[in-house]
Structure 1
Amino acid sequence: MIEFDFHLQRPGFCLELAGRIPPRGVTALFGHSGCGKTTLLRCLAGLEPEVQGRLSVNGQQWQAGGRQWPPHQRAVGYVFQEGALFPHLTVTGNLHYGYRRVPADARRLQPGEVVELLGLAPLLHRYPHELSGGQRQRVAIGRALLTSPDLLLMDEPLAALDALSKNEILPWLDRLHQTLDIPVVYVTHAIEEVARLADHMLLLEQGRLLAAGPLQSLLTRTDLPLAHADNATSVIETKVVRFESEYHLLHLTFDGGELQVPCTHAPETSTVRIRVAARDVVLSLSADSRGSALNHLPARITGFNNDPHPAHQLVTLTLGDTPLLARITRKSRDQLGLQTGQAVHVQFKAVAIS
């Protein structure tokens, strides 16, 4: 477990943050630009010498009582926006730079393991200028992993990439998420990345902690701004049932029922996280299966909230024990006579699920 309590005063900005980060999985630091995400990351790495407070990582006091370990004594891997590879070294040279920094008896990963994990074998003899943006970031992540860190920090690793490069690297980040046994702290301003990769979230606002907790619950909390954003999203953790190769559809199950989602090939894992935008959820009073939508599930309404748009109504529901957001019009609510506690049916097109 990582526990911190930081205070940092700067002209025009004050960071006052105390919280916990789970010992495994991806914790997203999320919030508007200037809220303190990167500053918190730098405090964890020991790059803010003026910060006051305490930091404990797996029982080790990295900062306490006015003393703090310098950056080189902290077992931290840091991935920057631009990758920051050494231009005069090949991919192999960059990877081994991180590996050589670690005493032999403290190495958790071997270069071959990282090369296989991140698909770097075809790139080993190339120089950074010969790589795409996504490839450079994969090498940067590999170099950070080969320092055998107790904590991996990633500062908006996709922010400098174009859409094609983002799509190239996201599957590898998915793979890291499923494989790594160390905590990852991931800074981003893109909720799509959070919904895809994170398990836990710290929501920051003006240097303060607005909320913290499991991703699924924070995304659907209507007292937080996430649920009221245009791209409000719910996540559902599912298990793979089968792959229907004829239609390239993946059949999934969770506590709220069964789903079908498009998929180019059978996945390597037995679990899949899906994301459903609130605007793509349709509510009905009966299980009418006519129409093109493949997914029809029973649900129960747990509440209603006003939305920034005067025509909209935000509806919270449960599918079994899984929370879900739906954005409908106020007219639709009145025409259907929807009430809190009412049993309804939700449907969404398979092509709307990511």
Structure 2
Amino acid sequence: MLELAITRRVGGFTLDVALEAASGVTAIFGPSGAGKTTLARCVAGLERPDAGQIVLDGTVLTGPGRAVPPHRRGIGYVFQEPRLFPHLDVRANLLYGAPKGTDPGAVARMLDIAPLLARRPAGLSGGEAARVALGRALLRAPKLLILDEPLAALDRRRRAAILPYLERLRDTGTPILYISHAIEEVARLATTLVLLRDGKVVAQGPVGDLLSDPEVAALLGPDQAGALIEGVVAGSEAGLLRLDTALGRLEVAGVEAPPGGKVRVRIRAEDVIVATRRPEGLSARNVLPCRIAALRGGQGPGVMLRLDAGEGRLLARLTRRSVEEMGLAEGQDVWAVLKTSGVSRMDVGR
């Protein structure tokens, strides 16, 4: 358990945050300049707050008259850049800072870098170097792992290749503080979401609850809004994956997973079409009966709808004009239409 309540002033910016992070992945999400990295550096001991305290597993790391040095905090830190030692091979980089006698084999196999142990960093791709940095932090057996936008320096293709390894890392049970401004990473990895803006926490809670909340969607921005759905793979046919979810049966294209496997799917609000009558003659294969649970209008032409379907929730982004012309209102029964190809590979995780 990480508990903190701190303030930190840097120039004209003030970080004023109180939060708790338990097991699993706690994602600190927000735009550039929100204070995410400053928060992470304070937890790691690389910066000292002006006031407040930081407690990890009952031990005060930072507080009045106390500041545990970074190397004694039991925290692993992965930066945006891998920061590998160029004169050491991958094996030596992995073992740097690890307890004496540590065997890197299991972690190297988990991250698929076992064949690279004899290489120097200069011979690694960006994705390989990122995995080595992850392995090095994990081999220190940390009480807490901080990942500070570890994929920010990678292009979309390499990010998509690394995300499955971060899912494996999450499943090791090591508590993770994940710093990001990429909502698809948060949706795939996080247990808890902390939304940071202008140095303050504006929302925090279970990631699925927050991402399906129209109020939070307004804070994220219309392009980032999308509900998180968890499901079990029922099978596949003709390139379509069949998922049993709280919404009902969904079909998704372009994704592979074994029957019985559990997956997460982020369905973007802009990809959901709403109809007042059941549509017919459509190519879209996902047509779900829903009820409008909430409508939230913004300053612009858009309106965010929360749709309850079965035991699940969706978000839909419509224009204000469409809402008025269709006579949509809270409590109304409608139909939600989702294209099978509307879900990106980046939006489906294990």
Query: What is the total number of aligned residue pairs between the two structures?
Result: 343
- Structure 1 residues 34-113: aligned runs within 5 Å: 34-99=33-98, 102=99, 110-113=103-106
What is the alpha-carbon distance in structure 2 between the residues aligned to residue 216 and residue 265 of structure 1? 22
* Counterpart in the other structure of 2:29: 30
Q: Is residue 192 of structure 2 the alignment partner of residue 197 of structure 1?
A: no
**Quick check: 1:2–1:21 contact (8 Å CA) kept in 2?**
yes
Deviations 1:236-278 (A, max 9, x none): 011121233xx12211112221111124533487210001111
Q: 1:344 aligns with which of 312, 328, 334?
A: 334
Q: Is residue 156 of structure 2 the alignment partner of residue 147 of structure 1?
A: no
Q: 1:165 aligns with which of 158, 162, 165?
A: 158
> What amino acid does structure 1 have at the position aligned with 2:117?
L
What is the alpha-carbon distance in structure 1 between the residues aligned to residue 11 and residue 260 of structure 2? 49
What is the alpha-carbon distance in structure 2 between the residues aligned to residue 96 and residue 236 of structure 1? 38
Cα pair distance change 1:129/1:268, threshold 3 Å:
farther
Deviation at 1:322, TM superposition (A): 2.2
Q: Is residue 281 of structure 2 the alignment partner of residue 282 of structure 1?
A: no
What is the alpha-carbon distance in structure 2 between the residues aligned to residue 319 and residue 226 of structure 1? 23
Cα pair distance change 1:285/1:229, threshold 3 Å:
closer
* Counterpart in the other structure of 2:347: none
Cα pair distance change 1:65/1:324, threshold 3 Å:
same
Between 290-299 and 7-16, the greater mean CA deviation after superposition: 7-16
Which segments of structure 1 move beyond 6 Å, counting only runs of 4 or more?
none
> What amino acid does structure 2 have at the position aligned with 1:97?
Y
Q: Is residue 325 of structure 2 the alignment partner of residue 335 of structure 1?
A: yes
* Counterpart in the other structure of 1:18: 18
What is the alpha-carbon distance in structure 2 between the residues aligned to residue 175 and residue 193 of structure 1? 14
What is the alpha-carbon distance in structure 1 between the residues aligned to residue 252 and residue 180 of structure 2? 27
Q: 1:256 aligns with which of 247, 266, 269?
A: 247
> What amino acid does structure 1 have at the position aligned with 2:67?
Q
> What amino acid does structure 1 have at the position aligned with 2:88?
L
Q: Residue 223 of structure 1: SS of its match in structure 2?
A: helix
Q: 2:206 aligns with which of 210, 214, 219?
A: 214
Cα pair distance change 1:226/1:267, threshold 3 Å:
farther
**Quick check: 1:21–1:27 contact (8 Å CA) kept in 2?**
yes
Identity over aligned pairs, percent: 45
**Quick check: 2:214–2:295 contact (8 Å CA) kept in 1?**
no
What is the alpha-carbon distance in structure 2 between the residues aligned to residue 78 and residue 228 of structure 1? 29
* Counterpart in the other structure of 1:266: 257
Q: Residue 96 of structure 2: SS of its match in structure 1?
A: helix
Cα pair distance change 1:302/1:17, threshold 3 Å:
same
* Counterpart in the other structure of 1:175: 168
* Counterpart in the other structure of 1:3: 3
* Counterpart in the other structure of 1:298: 289
Deviation at 1:175, TM superposition (A): 2.4
TM-score by length of 2: 0.92
Between 148-157 and 184-193, the greater mean CA deviation after superposition: 184-193
Extract unaligned runs of 5+ from structure 1: none
What is the alpha-carbon distance in structure 2 between the residues aligned to residue 154 and residue 208 of structure 1? 20
Q: 2:307 aligns with which of 313, 317, 322?
A: 317
What is the alpha-carbon distance in structure 2 between the residues aligned to residue 98 and residue 255 of structure 1? 44
* Counterpart in the other structure of 2:348: none
Q: Residue 98 of structure 1: SS of its match in structure 2?
A: coil
Deviation at 1:281, TM superposition (A): 0.3
Q: CA RMSD in A?
A: 1.9
What is the alpha-carbon distance in structure 2 between the residues aligned to residue 339 and residue 21 of structure 1? 37
What is the alpha-carbon distance in structure 2 between the residues aligned to residue 38 and residue 11 of structure 1? 15
Q: Residue 159 of structure 1: SS of its match in structure 2?
A: coil
Deviation at 1:48, TM superposition (A): 1.2
Deviations 1:162-217 (A, max 9, x none): 2232222122122223x220211111112222222222111112211111111122
> What amino acid does structure 2 have at the position aligned with 1:215?
V
Q: Is residue 214 of structure 2 the alignment partner of residue 243 of structure 1?
A: no
> What amino acid does structure 2 have at the position aligned with 1:77?
G
What is the alpha-carbon distance in structure 2 between the residues aligned to residue 55 and residue 14 of structure 1? 17
**Quick check: 1:220–1:227 contact (8 Å CA) kept in 2?**
no
Cα pair distance change 1:291/1:148, threshold 3 Å:
same
What is the alpha-carbon distance in structure 1 between the residues aligned to residue 314 and residue 173 of structure 2? 29
Deviation at 1:220, TM superposition (A): 3.0
Q: Is residue 240 of structure 2 the alignment partner of residue 229 of structure 1?
A: no
Deviation at 1:61, TM superposition (A): 2.3
Deviations 1:135-159 (A, max 9, x none): 1100000000000001000111111
TM-score by length of 1: 0.91
